[in-house]
Amino acid sequence: MGNKVGVFTDEQIEAFQDCTFFTKKEILRIFNRFRDLAPNTVPKVMTRVDTNRIRLPYQQIQAITELRENPFCQRICQVFSEDGSGDLSFEDFLDLFSVLSEVAPMELKAVYAFKIYGAQAYKQYKIDSWANTDPWTHQRWDQVPRRSKHPLSTGHIHREPYILIR
């Protein structure tokens, strides 16, 4: 323990593995992708402080294949950046890939989906007010013409509408 293994110490790798769904090899592959975005900014060996201190601007992050064509790219980066700016440290970048990985649990993906896609709804409405008001038209449910009730009209969030079919 404590010996350098190249980019990270054993303790750093172990901490990353505990907090993500990745193996050591996958973590190093993600680091290489992060470093490739700004090789002059990101050092070849990262200290514990560097993994959170060195941040790449959103303009560089948006260049990765997974985000390049995504219309929610900026919002995704804002959600995963610690300060909400969209600029990502390596730890933020690793979290992003971990949540978007195939092995991440659906419940975790749902939490982030609400943070990304439902940000305005969370800012403007309390969950209990959704029971009586259509969040898009601001009309009470009993005043909304020719429309079936929203799945949230009971005051409870139902999981079924948000489950992906594979």
* Distance between start and end Cα atoms, the chain: 41
Q: Contact 151/130 with Cβ under 8 angstroms?
A: no
User: Cα 2 vs. chain centroid, distance in angstroms?
Assistant: 30
52 in any annotated domain: yes
Q: Look at 69 and 145; give whichever has higher pLDDT.
A: 69
For range 135-143, the mean pLDDT: 49
Residues 92 and 22 in one domain: yes
pLDDT at 146: 40
H/E stretch holding 30 reads helix 24-37
* Mean pLDDT lowest among 55-69, 115-129, 139-153: 139-153
- Whether 4 is in a domain gets the answer no
Last residue of a domain, one of 67, 100, 133: 100
C-alpha 147/C-alpha 157 separation (Å) is 19
State the chain's mean pLDDT as an integer. 78
What pLDDT does residue 95 have? 95
Domain-embedded: residue 151: yes
Verify that 95 and 132 share a domain, yes or no. no
pTM of the entire predicted model: 0.69
On whether residue 91 sits in a domain, the answer given is: yes
What distance lies between CA 145 and its chain's CA centroid?
Answer: 37
